[in-house]
């Protein structure tokens, strides 16, 4: 599996940079964000920010001496928000050093790009297999994770609000959670949030 395809499993934009801050690999979502050119873009193999102050922040995060890695080989260099020229919310960029192995001098920079409002698709088949949900229960759970209110879910699945609430209670029991927020967290932190479809 190529780096790009492996990175496509992440539910956010992921970009691998070499020690010189040149792009080595990027997942589909990151390429889409960069291609839009709204706040960040790709120029001559490097990520650049549209606004001067954002460019200075990125230069500081990408450059300089690499701090000593933690035992797991990762170190957070920093996080920043990049303003978009459109009316979209700011893009969040987490910059992480990923050391090849303990004691190695080669460092790779990994960027995690989060764009608010981008829906994270949930694999309903994984939810069904993992938690023993019915098709309807998996669909309702996926819609809830996508940010739909119970009334809107009811309209989308063609059921009443009470029926959707009954399904959600069954989902809570099967996933071993007690609330909508716990369900959302459990799904987003689990394998159903990986882009395997």
Give the C-alpha separation, 100 to 102, whole Å: 7
SS3 66: coil
Q: What is the pLDDT of residue 75?
A: 81
Read off the pLDDT of residues 83-131 as tens digits, 9 standing for 90 and up.
887 777 888 999 988 765 555 555 688 999 988 776 777 889 989 999 9
Q: Domains plus CATH for the chain?
A: 3-114 (3.30.450.20), 124-193 (1.10.10.10)
Q: Model confidence at 64, in pLDDT bands (50, 70, 90)?
A: low
C-alpha distance from residue 77 to each of 12, 36, 46 (Å): 18, 25, 18
- Give pTM, 2 decimals: 0.68
User: Looking at the predicted structure, is the pLDDT value of residue 62 above 50?
Assistant: yes
């Amino acid at each position: 599996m190529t780096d790009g395809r492996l990175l496509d499993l992440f539910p956010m934009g992921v970009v691998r940079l070499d020690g010189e801050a040149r792009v080595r690999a990027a997942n589909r979502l990151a390429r889409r964000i960069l291609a839009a050119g709204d706040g960040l873009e790709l120029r001559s193999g490097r990520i650049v920010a549209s606004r001067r102050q954002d460019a200075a922040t990125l230069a500081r995060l990408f450059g300089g001496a690499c701090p000593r890695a933690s035992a797991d080989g990762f170190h957070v260099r920093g996080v920043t928000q990049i303003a978009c020229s459109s009316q979209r919310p700011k893009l969040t960029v987490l910059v992480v050093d990923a050391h090849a192995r303990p004691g190695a001098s080669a460092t790779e920079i990994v960027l995690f790009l989060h764009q608010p409002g981008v829906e994270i698709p949930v694999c309903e088949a994984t939810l069904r297999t993992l938690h023993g949900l019915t098709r309807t229960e998996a669909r309702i759970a996926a819609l809830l994770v996508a940010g739909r209110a119970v009334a809107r879910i009811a309209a989308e699945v063609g059921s009443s609000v009470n029926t959707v609430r009954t399904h959600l209670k069954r989902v809570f029991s099967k996933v071993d959670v007690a609330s909508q927020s716990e369900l959302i967290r459990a799904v987003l932190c689990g394998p159903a949030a990986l882009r395997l479809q």
